[in-house]
Structure 1
Amino acid sequence: MFNLLKILSQLDFLSLSKLGRLGFAIHQNGINLMLLFTLTKITGNEKTALVDSHEVLSYRELQKRCEHLAYFLADRYGVGEKQKVAFYCKNHASLVQGIFASSRLGADLYLLNSSMSQLQFNKLVEEHRFDFLIYDDEFSGLIEKSPYRNPKICSYHEKYEAIATLPELSLHRKQKLKPSSSGKIILLTGGTTGKPKQVVHRPSLFNFLDPFAALLNRLQLPKYSTAYIATPIYHGYGIAVLLSFLALGKKVVIQESFDAERACALIQQHQAEVVTVVPLMIHKMLKHDKASLASLACIASGGAKLNPALVNEVNHQLGGVLYNLYGTSEAGLNIIAVPEDFKHHANTLGKLIAGGQMQVVVEGKEVEPGNIGQFCIRNKWSMKNNPSRWIQTGDIGYRDEKGYYFLCGRTDDLIISAGNNIYPLEIEVALTNHPSIEDVAVVGVEDVYSGQILKAFVQLYRDKSLTPSELSSWLSTHVAGFQIPREIVFVDHLPYTAVGKLDRKRIQTIKSNEIFNRGGI
């Protein structure tokens, strides 16, 4: 209740007239994403809501389009409660409109990874049997080759009916839409590197009070006016920050895909104070043009491990503006590190947010601070289709005596070499502290005698040179002997997934004489 009152106060909602407006909106429309427009009416509908590569929309225009689209989808295609609406789109205004309109109709929203393969999309169609599809034209060929045969509409198209052209159409509203609070948001995790797993979240204001309050207070979001969301909306982190910023009535800038040059230009053009990134993005932007990032007061990093070397680089180049958000698609946001926390340790994930519980567990038992185990999380805002009250994250780490959490790796990253349990992340962190190394990946390679041996793929800064023996000698003073890779391969680039995570499966397939010439973002 305290968080609710604090949030309503920050949204300037603590008056009988404004609370009455909120109650009336819930009575008329139900609890769905369209309720956010009731919140933003307080600060004025003419404010800019959304900027993408196609257009600029005010809150009034965005709400009108979302309402219009909701009527259109209900009237033309019969979209309604309990139906499965899939989104196969990159970041743009039509995707946002589709999400809000479908939520208003009570449909279940399936956010698909736009980087998936033909085989992966086919499997999703067969498994989930979507009732309706909103898609980008660039995926038309893939969709046509799939088993999908139900109705669909394109986001943008010059010739055919598309969401972007609907405001030009005349639509007769046969009847008023009934209130709906039944829709869910379903994230399909592991969309490019593994079998997607269904993660269900119900977009209830009350379920998400604690993480929303944490974003408002720890990141001080109400202070700022413009945010650039560089992360994909289909990712849990992307949709969460998008809805948070729209609830605050801020200007949100999005683009179909990330490009460091374009991102730097957008931040400078809009004087964005807030940007959401994965670590690789901020690394690339700093490398391209750090001067264009001068307006940033809050760099919210998430979705992948922050390297201490990058933390120090950001602090040196831009000052104390870096925040780290730790969460999973299944358990949502749970830990936040603020700039002050990185003074404690550049490698920390931060501290637990209010309302959640977290344990470090080994063989089903919680361990004492300082001991490594699996992170297990329990909260009100986690996935709703999990049979257990506690969610096993698959992340391995520890908590120190002061309540700071640290990540050591993933359970499936564990390398057993000559009887030693080794998590590659610890070695990677040590290697990236070398002044010549820009990026690194450590993997396990099968070995007859040791079970597995360590192999490091190392990306040097362009003006640096290093030999394997020099690097091994340097590393011997930073890690234990059994943690030194048996083989070191220098590469041009390392592969990343579309959401900025190191693609270890692709790395495993690389032969020693191969060089990476492409990145994921």
Structure 2
Amino acid sequence: MVKLVQVMRKIGMLSPRGLYRLLAAIFRYGINVMALLKIAERTYGESAAIADDRGTITYRELLGQCEVLSVSLRENYGIRPGSKAALLCRNHASLVKAIFALSWSGADIYLLNAEMNKDQLQDLLTAYDFDLLVYDEELSPFIEQAAYSKGKLLSYHEQKPAINLLSAGTAAKKRSGHHRASSGSIMLLTGGTTGKSKKVPHKPSLFHYLNPFYTLLERLYLVRYHTGYIATPIYHGYGIAILLLFVALGKKIVLTSGFHAPKACELIREHQVQAASVVPLMLDKMLKHNADDLRSLACIASGGAELNPRLVAHAFDKLGDVLYNLYGTSETGLNIVASPQDLKQSAHTLGRRIEGVPLYVLDSNMNETVPGAVGQFCVENYFSRSRQNKKWIETGDMGYRDSSGLYYLCGRADDRIVSAGENVYPIELEHILIQHPHVEDLAVIGIPDEAFGQRLKAYVQLVPESRQNAEQLMEWLRSRAARYQMPKEIILVEQIPYTQLGKRDKKQLV
């Protein structure tokens, strides 16, 4: 309760006017993210809400269009509480409108990875039998080839049924809207481009997300900033969380379909963006393109993949103490945050555990480890709807906590190899090799070995115009890596592949 009061004070809702807006919004919409948007509309009204590739709309316009859209979806597509709606969209205002409108309808919202292939899409359409599919026009060939016969709706179109047309209704239609309803779940589908997807349901709950919300306000100072850029895909758990946070704070939210470093730098400069959510690869590309365009940034929240020490140092050198690291999973949410000071203490750290989040490092017997000992990151289960009978949510991430309270990632449990009896994580070798002045990027995997059982294999991308060879890199390693960390082989590649979410795509290398 104390934390709730602290949050309400920070976002200006502890005053009589703020409390009235909260209660009035809940009375109108129920416990629903539309209530969040209503509070923002009453507080920030004519302030810019969304600026995307097609223009800018205010909070008042956004709320009105979401109300009209929700009624249209109910009347024209039969969307009701319990309906299943899939959103196959990149970042833009129509996606945001669909999320809020569907939530008010009580539908379960499935955020699909817009980069999936047609076979993966067909698998999902078959598995979940969606009542409505909202999609971007450029994905139409996939949709037309799919065996799907239920409701279809484009995100944007000037003649065909689309979110932009349905949301442009009249005030009379808005007044005929439905009554308040409990929000459906927001379903995050993990593994959308690399394997079999599984759904992770999140039902909006103030108390489940209070600690992470307060931490982002307190440690990242987000209340101070007026404009935020969401570079990460909204269909990812990190992206949707930042979107809802920015709406709650009344920020001007800058969006663009797809990430391109020149465009991203231009948007940050044009809108004088102060806070940005990125994955490390995005930050690296922007710094290399034009660091001067990023001077307005006071908070860069990096998540979704591991920061490497060279990128941390580069960001601090060019932009000052503005870089933060966020760690969490689709199911457990945000667990750990690193401040610039934490990253200066150790560029490898994930950061410090969020106060109130029951995150522990557990051994194979599910006992808590001592500082410095490697175990699995597990979160005590007090909220997961999909694992109600389990005490622990196992993240699959292996790491440790040091004596000062900083957490470190060693890799995924299935990345670990046993080489000559030693537990070895590919990330250990990656941390060493990235320090070589001629190494631009790399990825390390485990491979079978007749003598040792398993060994490491490194794929290395050299800096431009480097003439280093694999033998020279191997020789450089001998005095720096332990015997069991030495790779069996180093392969030089032109470029390390990444997924659309900014993680190294090691499957493409094998």
Residues 382/310 of structure 1: CA separation in 2 closer, same or farther (3 Å cut) = farther
Instruction: Provide structure 2 residue ranges, at least 5 long, that are not aligned to the other structure.
Output: none
Q: Is the 8 A contact 2:336 2:351 kept in 1?
A: yes
Instruction: Tell me by how many angstroms 1:381 deviates.
Output: 5.6
CA deviations on 1:110-159 (whole Å, 9 max, x unpaired) are 00011111121111111111111111111222122222211121001233
| Correspondence for 2:28 | 28
How far, CA to CA, are the matches of 1:182 and 1:109 in structure 2? 10
| Correspondence for 1:442 | 444
CA deviations on 1:428-476 (whole Å, 9 max, x unpaired) are 1111111111100111223333333322110111032212122112112
Residues 464/182 of structure 1: CA separation in 2 closer, same or farther (3 Å cut) = same
Amino acid at match of 2:343: F
Instruction: Provide structure 1 residue ranges, at least 5 long, that are not aligned to the other structure.
Output: 509-521
Q: Is the 8 A contact 2:66 2:167 kept in 1?
A: no
Q: Is the 8 A contact 1:229 1:276 kept in 2?
A: yes
Query: Do residues 216 (structure 1) and 221 (structure 2) align?
Result: no
| Correspondence for 1:354 | 355
| Correspondence for 2:280 | 279
Amino acid at match of 1:68: V
Query: Do residues 140 (structure 1) and 146 (structure 2) align?
Result: no
Structure-1-length-normalised TM-score: 0.94
Q: Is the 8 A contact 1:202 1:384 kept in 2?
A: no
Amino acid at match of 1:90: R
Q: Is the 8 A contact 1:415 1:422 kept in 2?
A: yes
Instruction: Tell me by how many angstroms 1:44 deviates.
Output: 2.5
How far, CA to CA, are the matches of 1:341 and 1:35 in structure 2? 36
Q: Is the 8 A contact 1:108 1:183 kept in 2?
A: yes
| Correspondence for 1:265 | 266
| Correspondence for 1:10 | 10
Instruction: Tell me by how many angstroms 1:169 deviates.
Output: 5.0
Instruction: Tell me by how many angstroms 1:421 deviates.
Output: 2.0
Amino acid at match of 1:81: P
How far, CA to CA, are the matches of 2:342 and 2:121 in structure 1? 41
Of 459, 468, 471, which residue of structure 2 is paired with 1:469?
A: 471
Which deviates more from structure 2 when the two are superposed, residues 462-471 or residues 436-445? 462-471
Instruction: Tell me by how many angstroms 1:172 deviates.
Output: 4.2
How far, CA to CA, are the matches of 2:463 and 2:140 in structure 1? 40
Q: Is the 8 A contact 1:82 1:182 kept in 2?
A: no
| Correspondence for 1:493 | 495
| Correspondence for 1:302 | 303
Amino acid at match of 1:165: L
Instruction: Tell me by how many angstroms 1:301 deviates.
Output: 0.3
| Correspondence for 1:58 | 58
Residues 280/173 of structure 1: CA separation in 2 closer, same or farther (3 Å cut) = closer
| Correspondence for 1:451 | 453
Amino acid at match of 1:411: A
How far, CA to CA, are the matches of 2:423 and 2:292 in structure 1? 43
How far, CA to CA, are the matches of 2:376 and 2:174 in structure 1? 53
Residues 386/414 of structure 1: CA separation in 2 closer, same or farther (3 Å cut) = farther
Please show how residues 52-131 of structure 1 align to structure 2 within 5 Å.
Answer: 52-131=52-131
Please show how residues 299-338 of structure 1 align to structure 2 within 5 Å.
Answer: 299-338=300-339
Aligned pairs, how many? Answer: 508
Which deviates more from structure 2 when the two are superposed, residues 456-465 or residues 186-195? 456-465
| Correspondence for 2:237 | 236
| Correspondence for 1:516 | none
How far, CA to CA, are the matches of 2:467 and 2:312 in structure 1? 24
Amino acid at match of 1:479: A
Task: Compute the RMSD of aligned alpha carbons.
Answer: 1.6
Q: Is the 8 A contact 2:363 2:369 kept in 1?
A: yes
How far, CA to CA, are the matches of 1:368 and 1:167 in structure 2? 55
Amino acid at match of 2:315: V
How far, CA to CA, are the matches of 1:204 and 1:153 in structure 2? 29
2:350 aligned counterpart, secondary structure:
strand
Please show how residues 422-437 of structure 1 align to structure 2 within 5 Å.
Answer: 422-437=424-439
1:178 aligned counterpart, secondary structure:
coil
Q: Is the 8 A contact 2:86 2:111 kept in 1?
A: yes
How far, CA to CA, are the matches of 1:80 and 1:9 in structure 2? 35
Please show how residues 117-196 of structure 1 align to structure 2 within 5 Å.
Answer: 117-169=117-169, 172=173, 175-196=176-197
Instruction: Tell me by how many angstroms 1:384 deviates.
Output: 4.8
1:34 aligned counterpart, secondary structure:
helix
How far, CA to CA, are the matches of 1:136 and 1:489 in structure 2? 39
How far, CA to CA, are the matches of 2:446 and 2:388 in structure 1? 31
| Correspondence for 1:408 | 410
Which deviates more from structure 2 when the two are superposed, residues 467-476 or residues 326-335? 467-476
Q: Is the 8 A contact 2:40 2:250 kept in 1?
A: yes
Instruction: Tell me by how many angstroms 1:28 deviates.
Output: 2.1
How far, CA to CA, are the matches of 1:44 and 1:176 in structure 2? 23
How far, CA to CA, are the matches of 2:197 and 2:486 in structure 1? 34
Q: Is the 8 A contact 1:99 1:109 kept in 2?
A: yes
CA deviations on 1:151-193 (whole Å, 9 max, x unpaired) are 1210012331211123555674694412111411110001011
Instruction: Tell me by how many angstroms 1:228 deviates.
Output: 0.6
Q: Is the 8 A contact 1:187 1:235 kept in 2?
A: yes
1:348 aligned counterpart, secondary structure:
coil
Q: Is the 8 A contact 1:201 1:381 kept in 2?
A: no
